[in-house]
Structure 1
C-alpha cells in the first residue's frame, strides 16, 4: 500500500529540504507519510539510558517523551510494512527501494519537492482487504499494517481457526 520514493544526491544538495517541503504538501493533502533517513552518524548518545539498554542487548528500546522513538535492529524490508500511504527515503543511493529521484544542487529543491508529490499522488495506494467476508477500509494503521504484511508475504487468503 505504501509508495516508496527515494531522494538521493550528494551532501548539501537539498535532499532534506526537498523532502521536508514534500511532506508538508502531502500532509496538507491528507496523506500519511513516513520518512527514513540514511545516516553515517549515531542517533543514540553514548552513556544515556537508551544507549545502555541497547548495548546490554535489548532487541527493542523505546524512548517516549512527547514524541516516541524506537531503536530496533531493523532490516530495510520492514519499510514495506510501514502503515502509511507514502514512504520517503533520504539516501541509500546504492539500493533500489522505490522510485528514485536525484537532486544535484539546492536550486532544485522546489522542482524536486513537486516531483516527489507528483510521484506520490500517482502511486497505487489501493487496499483490498476482506475480513470475515466483508470489505474493510484501510483507514487505521493496524489494518494498513496487516494489509502490507499480507501483501509483502504474497498471502492472498488467510483463515484462522480457533
Structure 2
C-alpha cells in the first residue's frame, strides 16, 4: 500500500490541502483513501442512537451499515492507540492512502505551513518531510510549493510515490 502524509500544526491548512488533493487525485482516476489522526477525544455517534447505545453498553466494536455506507467503530477501552501500520491493514486496497497527521511515523510527508500560526517549521529536523506547502516564501533545503498549488503538489506526490 502506498502512503503519503500531510503534517503541520493546528490551523496550518492540512485538512484543506488533504481535501483538495483527494479531489485532484480522484479526478485523475486514482483511488484514494484517507487516514486522519485526532489528538483529542472524538465521537462519531450521537447520544441516543442505537449504535451509541451498543457502544456505551460495552461493545468492543460496533459495525453500522446502510445502503449507502458502513462504518466500523472500535473502542480501545484503555488499550494503547494502535500504530498507523495496524490501522492501514483495515483499509481496502487503493492506489494511494493520504495520511493527515501521524507526523512521527516514517512515511514520506509534505508539511502544510501558514505564517499566521507563528509555528516553527517541522521540516528542518525531519527527513521524512519531502516538501513544504506554505503561504509564504521560505528558505528550505527541499521543494517549496504555495499552499494553494494543489495540482503541483499532487504531481510531486505522484512522482515521489511512483504513481
Q: Tell me which interval the TM-score lies in, with the shorter structure as reference length.
A: 0.5 to 0.7
Matched, 1:70 2:55: no
Q: 1:27 to 1:59 in 2, by over 3 A?
A: same
- Shift of residue 78 of structure 1? 3.0
Distance, in Å, in 2 between the alignment partners of 1:46 and 1:115 is 40
- Name structure 1 gaps, 5 residues minimum: 126-162
1:133-152 superposed matches below 5 A: none
Whole-Å Cα distance in 1 between the matches of residues 151 and 108 of structure 2? 14
- 1:89 aligns with 99
Unaligned runs of 5+ in 2: 76-80, 115-133, 136-145
Map of 2:109 onto structure 1: 100
Question: For the residues of structure 2 that align with 1:70 and 1:120, how far apart are their CA atoms?
Answer: 30
Aligned to 1:152: none
Show the counterpart of 1:14.
13
1:110-155 superposed Cα distances (whole Å, 9 cap, x missing partner): 2366324432354256xxxxxxxxxxxxxxxxxxxxxxxxxxxxxx
Query: What is the count of residue pairs matched by the alignment?
Result: 123
More helix by share: 1
Taking only aligned residues, the RMSD between alpha carbons, in angstroms, comes to 2.5
State TM-score, norm by structure 2: 0.62
Paired position in structure 2 for 1:123 = 161
Task: Answer 1 or 2: higher relative contact order, Cα 8 Å, separation at least 6.
Answer: 1
CA distance in 2, matches of 1:67, 1:117: 30
Does 1:45 find its partner at 2:46?
yes
> Which residue in the other structure is 1:55 paired with?
56
